[in-house]
Structures are given as C-alpha cells and as structure tokens.
Amino acid sequence: MAFIIALTIWAVGWWINGRLANGPRSDSRAISLLIPIIFGVTIIAMWEVLVTMLGVSPIILPPPSSIAVRFAGEIPILWADFEQTILKGALTGYVVGMIAAFTVALLADRSEFLTKGILPVGAFMAALPIVGTAPIFVKWLGSDWHSKAAVVGVMVFFPILVNTVAGLKDTSVMQRDLMRTYGAGYWPTLFKLRLPAALPFMFNGLKIATTLALIGAIVAEFFGSPTVGMGFRISTSVGQLALDMVWAEIVVAALAGSAFYGAMALIEKRATFWHPSQRS
Amino acid sequence: MNIRGIIPALVVVGVIFAIWTAAVIPMNAHLTADQAQRDGLVMTPEAPRDRQDFTGLTLAIKNPAIIPLTYTLTRPRLPSPHQVAIEMYETIFTKAPTSRRSLVYHGWVTLSATLLGFVIGTTLGVLLAVGIVYNRTMDKSVMPWAITSQTIPILALAPMIIVMLGAIGIQGLLPKSIISAYLSFFPVVVGMVKGLRSPDGMQLDLLRTYSANANQGFWKLRLPASMPYLFASLKIGISAALVGAIVGELPTGARAGFGARMLVGDQYGQPMVTWAALFGAAITAALLVAILSWIERRTLTRMGMGAMA
C-alpha cells in the first residue's frame, strides 16, 4: 500500500514536471523555478509516506515532519550552533584565508619565478585532504572557534590563491601595451586593468571556498569543541540516536551553505556585470 | 612538466620546509625547556610559571642550549620535518603491510573505500548526466538540485549515514564508500553534462547531414567531446572521495584508516601518528591525481586532443 501511494506521488509529480518542462513556456523564469520545487516536494512527500506507513524506525530515517517539528522546537540551540560554527569559525577563517591568499597572489604576481613556483604547489595543495590539519590546529589553538577559523583559513587559502594568480595573468598583451602607451605604471595597471580582469577568476575561487569553509568548520569540531556548535551537535546527537536533531542541523548547514554561496554569486554579479558570462 | 618549470616549484617547496624547520624552535621551546629542566639543565627563568610569560622565540634566545633539543622531543607540538620523515619511513617500510602499526595497512583501508566509492559515484554520475542531457524533464528538475547540492556541506551527513547504515547492519567499507561516492558524484554530473553538451550546432548539423541516428550521435560525437570535461571532474572527484573516506572514519570511532589514525594520534597525544597519517593521506591524494592525469594525457593524445591536456 505504502509503495503504491509513493509511486502515485512520484508519477503525479513527474507528469506535472514533464508537462511543464516540455510545455511552451518552459524557459520562463517562474517555470524553471517551479519545476525543481515540485521535484523536491515530490521527494519529501514520498519520504514522508514511505517512512511513516512502513514504520521505519526514526533511528534509521526520521520522517520530514518530525525533522520540521524538531527544527521549529530547537531554534535557540540551532541558532547558537550556527553562531558558533558559521559566524565565528567559518566566516572568520574565510575572511582571513581570503586576505592572505590575495596578499600572496599579489606578491607572487610581481615575479615570474614565484608565479611558476606557486601555481603547481598551490594546485597540488588544493587537492590535498586539508581537513586532516584539524586535529593539529585544535591541539595548538584550543577547542574554541579560533582553531576552526585556522582550519578554514588554510582550506580556503589555496583555491583562492590559485584562481587569483591565474586571473592576474588573464590580460592580453595588447591591453597591457595600451596601458603602457597611457604611461601607466604598475599600480594604475593593477587597479584599472588587471584586478578587474582577475575578478571572474577570483570569484570562482571564492565560491568554491564557501563550501570548503563550512566543511572545515564542521569537521574540525569532531576533534574537540566547546559544548556548542554544529559539528559538536551532530556528533553528540548521532551518539544519542537523535537523528531528527542531526537532520535539523543538516537543514541549517544546507541553508547556510546556499545562502553563503548565493551571497557570493550576488556580489559577483554586481562586481563583474561586464563579463560575458554575466550577460544573458 | 619540463625542468625549467620544476625549479621554481622546488624553491617554493624548499621555502615552505625552511619556514617549517624554523617554526619548530618557538613552537616547542616551552615543552623543551620543561623537559631540559627535569634533566638537570639550568633554565634562565627558573620557575616554569615565569617562562609562560615569554614567547617561544625569546625563551629560545635566552636558553640557546634548548634549540637543538626542540628537534628531538618525543611528543612535540610541531614535529620537525625529519621526525615526520622517520615516522613515515618506519611505519611504511619497516612494518609488515598487514600489521596494525603499518601506515600501508591503514592507507589501504582508506584507499579501498575511496576507490569503491569513486567507481560507484562516477558510474552513477555519468548515467545521470546522460539522462539529464537526453531528458528535458530530468534536466529541468534534477539539474538545479545538483548545482545547489554543491553549496551544501555534504560532509555533515557523514556521521549520520554511518549510523543509519550501522543500524540496518551494514558496516565497514560500504558506509565510507557511500560518502565517497556522494562526494565524487556531483562534480562528475556537472562536468559530464557540460561535456556532453559541448559539441556546437555545426558539429551536430554535420552529423545530421551524415544521417547519423541518436545512438551514433552519442557514441561518435557527444561522448568523445566530453572526455576533457570528464577528466577534469574525475580529478576533483577523486580528491573529494578521499576526503569523504577520511571524514567517514572520524565521528564513529573507526579502528583503521587515515582518519582513525588522525583521531587516535589526537586522543592519545601522539602527534607523530597524526602527522604521519596527514602526510600519508596527502601522498595518496597526490598519487591518485597523478595517475588520473597520466590516463588523461594518454587518452586525449590518442584521441588527437593532446594539446588540450
């Protein structure tokens, strides 16, 4: 019975989406927003029906309704965790890592030799499992948010660095010659030509780094934290088999991650409105 | 990479190691001073409490005798490069690969989960990408979620997946692989969709003038055209898969693997174990990416796209 209802929900959702996607106005903004929403609602409805009707233990998979109830009921705790992990740990580390990466990129950019050296090393470091530094930083800086910020700073440093260095190279010889005919020195050329030209690359690195920042802050809390924070709450709630609380934290993480990325994308849109990829 | 490209990279690596070596002295100065005092040396501020007021660097300058000792602590705050190298040599080459003290053993535990997850994730990712490219409904409903999911710190799911699967009796390799698969899945989907759509209108029209059917269009044009995108995603995916396997070992007290070693080193105050695991993971990641780059170069050269690699 449960499977039949779930299948019906799926079929109805898919049929509506099929009609919308292949319909005449499928490329309009509202429809392309509506279709994924219907898809998401279909999945959640099937999840709810299957879990409640089949009597799946909440220890394995809680139904969305109980996650929502838990979320609404625990807002003060969730907010405290959000503040500790995202606002203090992830954001501080993100800003520090970003400033450090920009500084190093500008220094590296002044010498051909350094650029050649830093790019391969940076690309190599960006592929490493840098979350592994978490236990070391927690030992050095204590278990409060400072150690999380350090982990995040190191994690976001390399992607931003590699992208910024690549971006600073992204001007054509003709553009640079033009600046020279204007009699522009290093700094005017940097501010008026090369930094603006590097912005699309820099934002690419910054957007990758948003997710890394949250991952770093949450994972570092598995190695020790005060009794607040999203990573702390996830690992203790898993221990108590309170999976609805874990899911509530995941909802917070998802919302925070999307908002963080969205904010970066919005700034990018404002700052690089002239770039071909931003023109519709 | 040619020789002239290697030298700058080596210099940068050398500078990093020099900074590391120099940082060992101030980082370990306090611990070393305490130890040296117990061994009968006279320290300049005699009371350990007074020494806390000094930075590591001033303490080392006031007591030059402890400088060489900072490099030989058994439980340093920051081990020196040669200590990590010795620990790695001992745990990789002098222990049998089946021993629990061998880094090769732990590396294999993590690597097998990574590879299994990577294969599952890549396969599903490619299949979903094909579905998205050929089915408009799927494109419109799944693709936005695939992109959004990249902005979500998926690793937060790791502990829960392991508990969930543990509750229904699945343990060991598979839960970690599922996390790895999940992490390598989305880069592959996004890259493959981009790749399968990369042939331009002229190329598609040319195939139509050959009266090629959809199947031939896929195997002879879309799939080959997607290869550079696929390899770019695979390289991101495999390092993500390794991170996933390591994080999968953290929250539930796994007994083997790089993540377990990091946790053990952290909890039992054995910094060398943590550092060796960290470098072991780094070397594994570098090797995996290098292998993929090699396959990429070979494949693209044989397909006549060597210049792009």
pLDDT digits (tens, 9 = 90+) for B211-249: 888 888 888 888 888 888 898 889 888 988 998 888 888
pLDDT of residue B309: 43
Q: Round to whole Å and give the CA distance between A75 and A69.
A: 10
Give the total number of structural domains in chain B. 2
**Claim to verify: residue B70 and residue B212 sit in the same structural domain:** no
Phi and psi dihedrals of B245, rounded to 5? Answer: -65, -40
pLDDT tens-place string over residues A163-174: 898 888 888 888
Question: Do B63 and B130 have their domain in common?
Answer: no
- Average model confidence (pLDDT) for chain B? 84
CB atoms within 10 A of CB B227: 18
Residues of A whose CB is below 8 A from B152: 211, 253-254, 257-258
Indicate whether B93 belongs to any domain.
Answer: no
Establish, for the pair of chains A and B, how many residue pairs have beta carbons separated by less than 8 Å: 168
Q: Which residue has the higher pLDDT, B175 or A25?
A: B175
Say if residue B74 is in the same domain as residue B108: no
Of A211, A219, A246, Cβ closest to residue B151: A211
Contacts of B144 in chain A (CB under 8 A): 32, 35-36
Q: What is the pLDDT, as a whole number, of residue A68? A: 92
- B74 and B183 together in one domain: no
Listing DSSP states for chain A in one string gives -HHHHHHHHHHHHHHHHHHHHHSTTTTSHHHHHHHHHHHHHHHHHHHHHHHHHTT--TTT---HHHHHHHHHHTHHHHHHHHIIIIIIIIHHHHHHHHHHHHHHHHHHHT-HHHHHHHHHHHHHHHTS-GGGGHHHHHHHH-SSHHHHHHHHHHHHHHHHHHHHHHHHT-S-HHHHHHHHHTT--HHHHIIIIIHHHHHHHHHHHHHHHHHHHHHHHHHHHTT---S-SHHHHHHHHHHTT-HHHHHHHHHHHHHHHHHHHHHHHHHHHHHTTTSGGG--
A83-87, B1-5, B204-208: least confident range = B1-5
**Residue B296 maps to a domain:** yes
Whether B148 and B240 map to the same domain: the answer is yes
Q: Are residues B157 and B298 in the same domain?
A: yes
Same domain (yes/no): B67, B208? no
Ranges A40-54, A82-96, B133-147, B152-166: which has the least confidence = B152-166
User: For residue B140, what pLDDT is reported?
Assistant: 84
For residue B31, the SS3 value is helix
For B155-207, how does the pLDDT look when each residue is reduced to its tens digit (9 = 90+)?
777 777 877 787 777 777 888 898 899 888 888 998 899 889 888 888 888 98
User: A185: pLDDT confidence band, cut at 50, 70 and 90?
Assistant: confident
Residue B85 lies in a domain: no
Chain A 75-104, CB below 8 Å of chain B: which residues? none
Q: How many angstroms from the chain centroid is the CA of residue A125?
A: 19
Same-domain check for residues B109 and B246: yes
| Mean pLDDT on B38-62 | 79
Q: Which of B144, B153, B239 sits opposite A257 (nearest CB)?
A: B153
Q: How many residues does chain B have?
A: 309
Residue B61, pLDDT > 60, answer yes
Please determine, for residue B308, whether its predicted confidence score (pLDDT) is greater than 60. no
> Which residues in A lie closer than 8 A to residue B281 (C-beta atoms)?
128-129, 132
Asked if residue B269 belongs to a domain, the reply is yes
Tell me which chain B residues have a C-beta less than 8 angstroms from the C-beta of A210.
151
Question: What range does the domain containing B16 cover?
Answer: 3-78
A142 to chain B, any CB pair closer than 8 A? The answer is no
User: Cα separation of B190 and A40, whole Å?
Assistant: 19
The rounded percent of chain A whose pLDDT value lies above 90 is: 16
Share of chain B above pLDDT 70, in %: 96
Is B48 inside a domain boundary? yes
Mean pLDDT highest for which of A9-18, B106-115, B300-309?
Answer: B106-115
pLDDT digits (tens, 9 = 90+) for B246-282: 888 876 666 788 888 888 888 888 888 888 888 899 8
Nearest in space to A108 (alpha carbons), one of A165, A25, A186, A153: A165
Indicate the fold that domain A64-275 takes in CATH.
MetI-like fold (1.10.3720)
- For the cut 50, the answer to whether the pLDDT of residue B31 exceeds it is yes
Place of tokens 């940082």: B23
Final residue belonging to a domain, choices B21, B45, B78: B78
- One domain for residues B31 and B133: no
Whether B145 sits inside 8 A of A32 (CB atoms) is: no
Half-sphere exposure of A255 (CA within 13 A, CB side): 10
Single residue among B25, B43, B78 that ends a domain in this structure: B78
Nearest Cα neighbor of B8 from A16, A120, A15 is A120
Mean pLDDT of A88-101: 94
Of the candidates A21, A218, A238, which has its C-beta nearest B153's C-beta? Answer: A218
Instruction: Answer yes or no: is pLDDT of A150 > 90.
Output: yes
Per-residue model confidence (pLDDT) at position B122 = 94
Computed over every residue of chain A, the mean pLDDT equals 86
Q: Are residues B9 and B124 in the same domain?
A: no
**Domain boundaries, given as residue ranges, for chain A:** 1-54, 64-275
**Is residue B16, in this structure, part of any structural domain at all?**
yes
Closest CB to B243: pick one of A35, A131, A250: A131
Across the interface, do B278 and A136 touch by the CB < 8 Å criterion? yes
